[in-house]
Structure 1
Amino acid sequence: MPQNVEDLLRALAPQVLGVLVRRYASFDEAEDAVQEALLAAALQWPKDGVPDNPRGWLVTVAARRLVDQVRSEAARRRREDTLALATPQSALLAHPADERPESDRDDSLALLFLCCHPDLSPSSRIALTLRAVGGLTTAQIAAAFLVPEATMAQRISRAKQTIKGAALALPEGADRAERLGAVRHVLYLVFNEGYTASAGADLTAPELSAEAIRLTRLLHRLVPDDCETAGLLALMLLTDARRPARTGPLGELVPLAEQDRGLWDGALIAEGVELISRTLPRGQVGPYQVQAAVAAVHDEATDADATDWPQILALYELLERFGPNPMVTLNRAVAVAMVHGPAAGLDLLATLEGDKRMARHHRLLATRAHLLELRGETGPAAEAYREAARRTTSAPERRHLTERARRLEGGEPAGP
């Protein structure tokens, strides 16, 4: 399937799902119908061309699939009657599949809030949203949660059953406030998966990051006075600004210290810095605002040597006060090493070895390898790089880690 068609289908999938959930109030059946419509489009569009109104085409085809599905199940005859009353089948069949639907509104944000329904556990809310809105596979979501794929599949299935029949609408008042934190966390994970894909041949999945930024902009417009939502948007902008320099000509990973900062997106940096500078003094500081401040310090440094590591270390120390997080500790260890020396950073890393989520994680090994390299212990560093390469599911990361090990074993400096 051509990449442009694949990208279009990924972008339209949550919008189409939102339309069907709003129309029929049946999340589980709607998602199945949308998947069938996406498959039909993937087979038909490359041959026949993309229709003039691809979103309308998908909505109409998915709606037909849903009605056919309900009609074929005798046990769901009552639901068929409900659907027939909501949208007569003749109305579905009387128009071409690419005709513009009765409403062109984007329900992606409402779908986000639906997936963060209060009847779901926090982990199930996030997993379901990553699946339904972010378009991530079960394997990708499992990697983000550091759990087995089978466990995640069961969690998503239970979540879909729990919200079966729930209406699609933007919540108000206390209900909105209750779900807002979960929605932010979901968007954060979707963005991270797009910025550094957990698996596959490509380092990044730009369509996921772009969708996360789009939805976060919508969320920020919905709650403009919420400082953490503003902080999340600033974090995404400041991080995504570096994307053009993150890979080399062959798609290879380029570490932050080695990136050509002239390739960074200055407009995104300026927008992100302005947003976080305006937000921080306004209200109670939260973790997304602190992470955005860290990203701003990196982005404003003219080169790697000009990075204000003491300020970054202070920000990570502040970030850890919001609650234990092994990834935050991992990043703080690097800052400690840059300020107090690699030995101090390695001592902090050692505290993570008892964390079951991190003990054998490739990023812990890669960070240890980097600090050992800074300390001059090239043999142990190369061994740690190779072990990290064996454990990552990302092909670009594996090549990068293997190359650093090879250069150390060959007596070459592995870079800054």
Structure 2
Amino acid sequence: MAGAVTAAFRAEWGQVVATLIRLTGDWDLAEECAQDAFTAALERWPRDGVPSRPGAWLTTVARNRALDRVRRDAAGARKLARIAPPEDPAEPGEAGEAGEPGGFGDDRLRLMFTCCHPALPLEARVALTLRTLAGLTTGEIARAFLVGQEAMSKRLTRAKRKIRDAGIPYRVPPPDLLPERLTAVLGVLYLLFNAGYTAGGGDGLQRRALCGEAIRLARLLTALLPAEREARGLLALMLLHDARSAARTDTAGVLVPLEHQDRSRWDAAEIAEGVALLEDALAPAPDRPPAGPYQVQAAIAACHATAPDAAATDWPQIAVLYERLERLVPSPVVALNRAVAVGMARGPAAGLALVDELDRAGTLAGYHLLPATRADLLRRLGRRAEAAAAYRSALESAANDAERRYLARRLGELA
């Protein structure tokens, strides 16, 4: 039964919180009452059974808790009329509302654009949406940003206060304001997908509900902004990565590297859709701007997804694409990925030289994939003792159990 509640949390948290924010305008109250609803589910579902519509049940319980809280608060009397009227919570906020472009009235989409308001710092926009929409813990978000948990907690608190004090509206912005919000919204979706694709902690490698939510919202965005090539590029990137999900772990839950995955288990339909979206995004057109970072990343993913086997992967092309991506998005993580591609295209010594540069710079200190990458390159060079030391270093900082099991297996193979 706990598993049913966990599944409902992953699938319904964002909708419940987003609906309560729309009804109450109080972000902290919405999160607290949503948490109360899931606690109630843990107590009542084992006795009464899982409701036929878990999301509707959770939304109703959370709304009733909010109503009780507001009744006890004299200053909250004005909110009662917004919370109390009955509505069908099975489809909360799905109907289009007047004044919102394209009729997209989904509460989660409103929440995303509210979080991505230009008045908020970019990283705060992304972090706040991951917290309220996806239900990630502060620690998980902190790891996504490679910052401390206390610093992330303060960032979230400041963002909520800024929304309240500045009176930032809870709506999808009008068409003339949409483009300036797009960069932050795409960043939210990208980190949301990544948080599901490789979970920041726990036993499982993936949180598929988060990936599904990111893809669903990316589809909404591409429908809302059909002319935005980067939105299509991001959706293509998500689909091409998601297509490999079933093959990313073995029966023991250990991570399977890309080169060893059973490609017959990849989702051919998702790959075909992703490739078609990418080709559409990159299609020649008058005044077409250069490909953005999501289109470049999708092109890298397409190189992997369309190769019939690992040996046929076009690593020189991938290395060139990573070089272009690094110019668009100067980032130590992108530089690390480029080092991997260079190591595959030109040999492990060339990749190791780039990894050593990153190591000396210290910009990825504590990031487990840096020593893990170094270990793999050293292993391929036959430097077994150094590779073992690097695998042990990666094990110390890896938070995901599936990745830890993979690193431990590699270390054992060296021993």
TM-score (norm 1): 0.91
Q: Is the 8 A contact 1:193 1:208 kept in 2?
A: yes
Pairing 1:305–2:328 present: no
In the other structure, the counterpart of 1:147 is 147
Q: One-letter code of the match for 1:241?
A: A
**Superposed displacement of residue 358, structure 1:** 0.3
Equivalent position to 2:325, from 315, 319, 323: 319
Pairing 1:351–2:353 present: no
Equivalent position to 1:261, from 260, 263, 287: 263
In the other structure, the counterpart of 1:55 is 55
Q: Is the 8 A contact 2:4 2:50 kept in 1?
A: no
Q: Is the 8 A contact 1:25 1:166 kept in 2?
A: no
Gapped runs of 5+ residues in structure 1? 410-416
User: Deviations 1:100-158 (Å, cap 9, x if unpaired)?
Assistant: 57855431111111111222111111111001112211111011111111111111122
In the other structure, the counterpart of 1:369 is 375
Q: Is the 8 A contact 1:349 1:368 kept in 2?
A: yes
Q: What's the Cα RMSD here?
A: 1.9
In the other structure, the counterpart of 1:381 is 387
**Superposed displacement of residue 224, structure 1:** 1.2
Q: Distance in 2 between matches of 1:58 and 1:397?
A: 33
User: Deviations 1:319-342 (Å, cap 9, x if unpaired)?
Assistant: 111131111111111111122221
Relative to structure 1, the CA distance from residue 101 to residue 222 in structure 2 (aligned partners, 3 Å threshold; closer, same or farther) is closer
In the other structure, the counterpart of 1:293 is 299
Percent sequence identity over matched residues?
49
In the other structure, the counterpart of 2:99 is none
Greater alpha carbon shift after TM alignment, 220-229 vs 45-54:
45-54
**Superposed displacement of residue 404, structure 1:** 0.6
In the other structure, the counterpart of 2:12 is 12
Q: Distance in 1 between matches of 2:344 and 2:52?
A: 55
Equivalent position to 1:193, from 195, 203, 211: 195
Gapped runs of 5+ residues in structure 2? 96-105
Aligned residue runs from structure 1 range 224-239, under 5 A:
224-239=226-241
Q: Is the 8 A contact 2:233 2:281 kept in 1?
A: yes
Equivalent position to 1:243, from 242, 245, 253: 245
Equivalent position to 1:211, from 201, 207, 213: 213
- Three-state SS of the structure 2 residue aligned to 1:201 is coil
Q: One-letter code of the match for 2:299?
A: A
Question: How many residues are treated as equivalent by the alignment?
Answer: 399
Pairing 1:112–2:147 present: no
TM-score (norm 2): 0.91
**Superposed displacement of residue 166, structure 1:** 3.8
In the other structure, the counterpart of 1:130 is 130
Equivalent position to 2:80, from 62, 77, 84: 84
Q: Is the 8 A contact 2:343 2:349 kept in 1?
A: yes
Greater alpha carbon shift after TM alignment, 38-47 vs 239-248:
38-47
Q: One-letter code of the match for 1:83?
A: K
User: Deviations 1:288-331 (Å, cap 9, x if unpaired)?
Assistant: 00000000000111111111111101111111111311111111
In the other structure, the counterpart of 1:390 is 396
Q: Is the 8 A contact 1:27 1:163 kept in 2?
A: no
Q: Is the 8 A contact 1:109 1:215 kept in 2?
A: yes
Q: Distance in 1 between matches of 2:80 and 2:261?
A: 58
Q: Is the 8 A contact 2:2 2:42 kept in 1?
A: no
Q: Distance in 1 between matches of 2:361 and 2:158?
A: 28
In the other structure, the counterpart of 2:100 is none
In the other structure, the counterpart of 1:173 is 175
Q: Distance in 1 between matches of 2:110 and 2:141?
A: 21
User: Deviations 1:165-201 (Å, cap 9, x if unpaired)?
Assistant: 5432111234322221111111111111111112111
**Superposed displacement of residue 8, structure 1:** 2.2
**Superposed displacement of residue 52, structure 1:** 3.8
User: Deviations 1:242-293 (Å, cap 9, x if unpaired)?
Assistant: 1111110111111001111111111111111111011112432100000000
